[in-house]
Amino acid sequence: MSDKTFLPPRRRGLLTHGILLALLAALAVWGFLSASRAEVGPAFLLEILLTLAAAIPLPIIAYRLYALLRANYYLGREKLNLSWGLRIEEIPLSDIEWVRPATDLTTPLKLPRFRLPGSILGLRRHPDLGLVEFLASDVKSLLLVATAKHVFAISPKDPRLFAREFQLATELGALARSEAFSTYPTFIVVEAWKNLLTRYLWLSGLLLNIGILAWTSILVPNLESISLGFDATGLAHGPFPPIQIMLLPFISFMLFIIGWIAGLYFYRWEEQRILAIIIWASSTITGILFLVGIFFSVSI
């Protein structure tokens, strides 16, 4: 038997996630542009809330799309490797007790509450199996892989072929003993937090953005108008309603979150961790620039 890689069904999931990302991004941009032109009042608050409601799920949807693109099930002579984004599980074949379709269960398997086509991820407890972890994209092709400690629900494109290949691999036996290995997305956060410089950059960036938001909230009631930038002749743009300056802390916070996520992506590799540090430092510097920009906007 040769090692084989089995892919989950992707087309429907990629289409769903792509459309959802485009809609949420368009809604967030529209809400932001509308808020930047709104007067003080309920309309401004509503547009800010709409922008946040559309922007907050964007990193989650984007990660799930990235995870689906990278998802695969690698079956070798020694181990089964389940890879789904930053979640990796390597299981020695000798640790696997059985593989069977989810339809064989007498008690139906409950699916994770938050799921999308192509992204069935999460944990659910089954009365017979105990805790079941889903790393799947399609309900119709769910296979259960059971070990002594854990049960995984996966969805290869061809479940029957996967089951046959697994049976063949177990009959042939392993060429060498392999060790179990698990990694979760949260592992990267914990690993990065152990670095003193990383911890300082995270906390300084977070506290800086919270401080900008608090300071701006205190300033707004005492301002009559603000100016946002200068034109080509050097004259200040404006005057604008003071409530519009609240957009700057929100932009700064969103950039900080984007930078934090981007840094975690690069921190996974030892040789690229310096790039992650640069991104996190840039996020802090960007916050300082926003602070200076707000200061000049209220001083002009």
Per-residue pLDDT tens for 156-190? 999 999 989 888 888 776 666 777 788 887 778 88
Scan for tokens 């494109």, then name that residue.
157
Cβ distance 152 to 55 under 8 Å? no
C-alpha dist (Å) from residue 191 to 23, 74, 85: 34, 26, 17
Amino acid making up residue 11: R
Secondary structure letter of residue 116 according to DSSP: B
> Packing angle between helix 196-219 and helix 185-193, nearest 10 degrees?
90
The two three-digit tokens of residue 63, written as one number: 């990660």
| Predicted pLDDT of residue 240 | 59
Please state, in angstroms and rounded to a whole number, the distance separating the CA atoms of residues 28 and 126: 39
| Predicted pLDDT of residue 81 | 92
Question: Mean pLDDT score of the chain, rounded to an integer?
Answer: 83
The two three-digit tokens of residue 215, written as one number: 């300071």
Amino acid making up residue 75: L
Instruction: Calculate mean pLDDT across residues 75-99.
Output: 88
In the predicted model, is pLDDT for residue 233 greater than 60? Answer: no
Alpha-carbon dihedral of residues 205, 255, 116, 111, nearest 10 degrees?
0
Cβ distance 113 to 122 under 8 Å? yes
Q: How confident is the model over 38-77, as pLDDT tens digits?
A: 665 566 677 777 888 888 888 889 889 999 998 999 998 7
- In the chain, where the domains are located: 184-300
Confidence band, pLDDT 50/70/90 cuts, at residue 204: very high
